[in-house]
Chains A and B, each alone.
Chain A
């Protein structure tokens, strides 16, 4: 009987890059900082994910897509995907690549910095103008807001800043 090939963590991460946000196909769960931990035991893989928002209806789809992606590795026998809320997901977990990939979709990434009074600013996702207004802090999904750019006259979305400091 052939000795089964051991599962490489790097290979799993390569597969996880292919798991995209179900609504934003330029952004992976790695980009979003949702992957907390990947562990292996023999040919079994466990992936621990952090939900962006607890009520996000995409979680089950993401879970299934994650399992399907990891199962594509022939050396993998079992995959377990678990959501945990500790540590809490915050928007500063979004990677630099995530910021670029969000912009590619027309979504402004969350601001890196807050003003002293807790307010923040995002620039237009299309033209980069700072001349924007917040139309609705709540957007089409829990993690997005709707803004309007007064320079290029486009409505655009931004990822909400989400921080434990709020």
Chain B
């Protein structure tokens, strides 16, 4: 790694750092929202499964933060817990609340939303990871191979839920369709690299935004065809682009909760 770092230009390093923050913050927030389902999932088997998926995803985030640490971006724990909302590069979708209410009081969370968000996000993650396996930044390409293996089970899991609920009762279908609308409203920055688009693509860290979008659509086409549904459209424009640090209030609240314990004693060893 040190050899490649030596020949790396400042521009290239910034592009890698930026992409790593996008990947890390995405998985970190996705895992956090997933973990809020602990004890609330529809049945105990699902509680076990989605907790496991959240734990894996947190592991993926931790690994990206570690790669950032190796690039001199700061301490991994601190990057995860201490950065303000405007420094975060996660997509808007991953920061959204699970529904009304809060975990510790009266959570009225929406399982249809969780299924659609998780399926669409995991499928997007797979498209990115497949591409990252060929990244010009070797440490990232090697990490992607490992993530890809674990992702196999996550994708299978959420696709099963997605198909089953959309092949179920009228109420399930109605709620799933409402969730698809909600999720797609926030999907505009999923494949965005923000203002680092040019550099990220130039250094071949990952395929272009456009290619990734097309692959995502292609990857879900057969599932939608089997359900006799149209593949949803990815919005062209966004109100907030998470990749540029533009976020909703949901993120502020999430950061406050998830960093509460860390902030009690930041130097503690876990």
Contact = CB atoms under 8 A, between A and B. Distances in A.
B57 A55 contact: yes
A88 B145 contact: yes
B59 interface: yes
B150 A140 contact: no
A137 B49 contact: yes
B101 to A, nearest CB: 26
B80 to A, nearest CB: 13
Contact of B48 (A56, A85, A139, A163): A139
Contact of A85 (B49, B51, B52, B146): B146
Nearest to B269: A60
B143 to A, nearest CB: 6
Contacts of A60: 270
B160 to A, nearest CB: 9
A100 interface: no
Contacts of A140: 48
A106 to B, nearest CB: 18
A57 B143 CA distance: 18
Interface stretch (B103-111, B151-159, B161-169, B230-238): B151-159
A56 B52 CA distance: 10
B247 interface: no
A60 to B, nearest CB: 8
Interface residues of B, number: 27
B45 A136 contact: yes
Contact of A55 (B45, B55, B142, B148): B55
Given A88-B146, A163-B149, A137 B156 contact: yes
Contact of A164 (B49, B63, B149): B149
Contact of A54 (B51, B142, B150, B152): B150
Given A85-B63, A142-B52, A90 B149 contact: yes
A54 B149 CA distance: 10
B30 to A, nearest CB: 12
B150 A164 contact: no
B58 interface: yes
Contacts of A53: 56, 59, 150
A60 B57 CA distance: 18
Nearest to B31: A55
Interface in A127-166: 135-142, 146, 160, 162-164, 166
A123 B235 CA distance: 48
B75 to A, nearest CB: 16
A11 interface: no
Given A86-B146, A88-B145, A166-B149, A138 B62 contact: no
A57 B49 contact: no
Contacts of B117: none
Contacts of B53: 138
B60 interface: yes
A55 B45 CA distance: 20
Given A86-B142, A139-B48, A54 B59 contact: yes
A144 B105 CA distance: 32
A142 B142 CA distance: 20
Contacts of A164: 145, 148-149
Interface of A: 53-57, 60, 85-86, 88-90, 135-142, 146, 160, 162-164, 166
Interface of B: 45, 48-49, 51-53, 55-60, 62-63, 142-143, 145-150, 152-153, 156-157, 270
The 4 closest A-B pairs by CB, nearest first: A55-B59, A54-B59, A86-B142, A138-B49
